[in-house]
Structure 1
Amino acid sequence: MSSIGHHVRKTSKRTFPLESLLMPQVPRNNYLHFQEEKQRLHLKKFLIHRMFLVAKIPANTEKRDISEYYEQVFQSIVKHHLGELVTGLLLMYPTSILHILESSSGTLLRILLDYIDREKNDDEFLIQGMKIVVVSHNIPSRLFMQWQVSVIKVPVMYLDDVTQSQSLEEVITEFLTQTHKLGAYLFKTVKVGTKGPGDNLHQAVPELLLPEQIIKYLCKCEEFLDPATFIKMYNNPIYVTLDSEVVWPAPDHF
């Protein structure tokens, strides 16, 4: 009897390989994954909009002055719009910039208003001739997890000027395609809390960078609004004629 019990106890401790394979696996995330998920949840507290801006800057401009200007603007806005962080990308070419901003509508408007005030009152303001290329409203998620700055130190060589052979629609399509590809690349490679891509994008992914000639071309296009005109249209009321206000046939006036 004892031998049988001993045999049962011995076999009950055996672990079958199939059972170990079928056991549920508990996912193990590290602290970095936890911080990234916390950041994503924090950035979803309000409706997000994405704005694409282009502008001209004087040659040999100290790029640090431009990045410091925007950092000061963001810090000032946070005092009035708590939690509405600004994410995006600022690419600084030799004589122009491409700026992508993601935040709430109120925050984006305050950024534009500050630029309008600086441009109006400072004849030597570094950023000139800004144009709003595209505004994407209520985007489902951010493309950038933080605000990043990258200086394009060396010019990227291109065989021809596409702005001379393509229509405006084709240039805009290339503009949006390339910027989204670049954003997707940075989303995968840049971790939250790091300094960003640095100034070697022209070496790491030159095929994803727009040529500066496209940025200059968009700055000159009259089809795009400058911030002052955009704000004026934004503040103007929209008058909608309701069906109940339309009478047919038109009344006769005697």
Structure 2
Amino acid sequence: MFFSDHTKKVSKRSLPSDSHLMPQVPRGNYFHFQEEKQRLQLKKFLLHRLFLVAKITANIEKKDLAHYYEQVFQSILKHHLGEAVTGVLLMYPTYILHILESSSGTLYRILLDYVDHETKEREYFIQGMKIIVVSHNIPTRIFMQWQVSTIKVPVMYLDDVTQSQSLEEVITEFLTQTHKLALYLFKTVKVSSKGPGDNLHQVAPELLLPEQIIKYLCKSEEFMDPKTFLDMYNKPIHVTLDSEVVWPAPSQF
């Protein structure tokens, strides 16, 4: 009996030492996988792509709008860590199409800059901005730099396609055309050059969206303005369970 009890005590004491001999399997998660992927691609932050449309304020010089955005990008990168901004700004006679690629913090501050001007009721370059698409964690950039093009000559169309197409069809055309335009700029525009400049409507008119589509999307209520988007972005995620609002807590039989 004594031998049996002693054996049990010894076996219990030996369990902790045996557990240390078990091989420790390293465990990762999806976040660490994405961090390692970004490190191998020489990127410090995850990249995102933002599609914006807005109306140009009357009597505003388009060159001043382009210069202002350049200053905003430089100021953000100077005071906050983040990825450089790439993309394209297409300035039509009365509307703009703006595609931006950068880290989430940089894009957040670009939108915040617009909201600050809108809430303070100052005369700003653009108004009525809408966010059409946000692409999160894009694998790579499709724009090698940020470039500007002024569409001086409006392209003439026989009919207004927005009158005969649904919103889904208009969005499909919007994304298709912008993707084709991005591939064209990727293949033709050299890094550190000024881009296509103001001749884009001459060299590739078939790749440009009609201004009427941008106007249609800008006035559509289905898309968020930057203030609504940022309010949702800053809203803490908290799910209230039924058991938290009912007292006493329900018990199961």
Question: If the length of structure 1 is used for normalisation, what is the TM-score?
Answer: 0.77
In structure 2, how many angstroms separate the alpha carbons of the residues matched to 1:244 and 1:173?
44
Q: Is the 8 A contact 1:60 1:94 kept in 2?
A: no
Q: 1:244 offset after TM fit, Å? A: 9.9
Residue of structure 2 equivalent to 1:202: 201
Q: Please tell me whether residue 78 in structure 1 is matched to residue 101 in structure 2.
A: no
Residue 51 of structure 1 deviates from its aligned partner by 0.2
1:224 deviation in Å?
Answer: 0.5
Distance 1:211 1:153 in 2: 13
Match of 1:158 in 2: 157
Amino acid at match of 1:182: L
Residue 166 of structure 2 is aligned to residue 189 of structure 1? no
Q: How far 1:120 moved relative to its partner?
A: 2.1
Distance, in Å, in 2 between the alignment partners of 1:179 and 1:242 is: 43
AA aligned to 1:178 is Q
Summarize the Cα distance change of 1:243–1:137 in structure 2 as closer, same or farther, 3 Å threshold.
farther
- Structure 2 SS opposite 1:223: coil
- Check conservation: 1:131, 1:226, Cα contact below 8 A: yes
Aligned to 2:224: 225
For the residue of structure 1 that corresponds to 2:168, the secondary structure is: helix
Structure 1 residue aligned with 2:99:
100
Using the aligned pairs only, state the percent identity. 80
Q: Cα gap change, 1:65/1:239 in structure 2, threshold over 3 Å: closer, same or farther?
A: same
| Deviation for aligned residue 1:157 | 1.0
In 1, the alpha carbon distance for the partners of 2:47 and 2:75 equals 19
Check the 8 A contact 1:56/1:95 in 2, yes or no: yes
Q: Offset of 1:72 from its aligned partner?
A: 0.9
> Residues 89 and 99 of structure 1 are in contact (CA less than 8 Å); yes or no, is this contact kept in structure 2?
yes
| Deviation digits for residues 216-254 of structure 1 (CA, Å, limit 9, x no counterpart) | 101101110110110000011122468998x9xx827xx
Equivalent in the alignment of 2:131: 132
Map residues 1-254 of structure 1 onto 2, 5 A cutoff. Answer: 44-82=43-81, 84-240=83-239, 251=250
SS in 1 for 2:79: coil
- Offset at 1:45? 3.0
Question: Is 2:51–2:133's contact at 8 Å kept on the other side of the alignment?
Answer: yes
Provide closer, same or farther for how the CA distance between residues 136 and 244 of structure 1 changes in structure 2, counting only shifts above 3 A.
Answer: farther
CA distance in 1, matches of 2:191, 2:150: 20
Amino acid at match of 1:127: I
Does the CA contact (< 8 Å) of 1:88 and 1:102 recur in 2? yes
TM-score (norm 2): 0.78
Q: Which runs of 5+ in 2 are unaligned?
A: 1-40
Q: Which moved more, 1:204-213 or 1:80-89?
A: 80-89
Q: Report if the CA contact (8 A) 1:55-1:97 is conserved.
A: yes
> Once structures 1 and 2 are overlaid, which stretch shifts more, 122-131 or 99-108?
122-131
Question: Cα distance, 1:84 vs. partner?
Answer: 1.6
Q: Which amino acid aligns with 1:135?
A: V
Aligned residues: 210
Q: Contact conserved, 2:177 with 2:207, CA < 8 A, in 1?
A: yes
Task: Please report how far the alpha carbon of residue 105 of structure 1 lies from its aligned counterpart in structure 2 after TM superposition.
Answer: 0.3
Q: Would the alpha carbon gap of residues 70 and 109 (structure 1) be closer, same or farther in structure 2, given more than 3 Å must change?
A: same
Q: Which runs of 4+ in 1 moved over 4 A?
A: 241-245
3-state DSSP class of the match of 2:128? strand
1:118-155 Cα distance to aligned partner (Å, 9 max, x none): 12224421200000000000000001000000000000
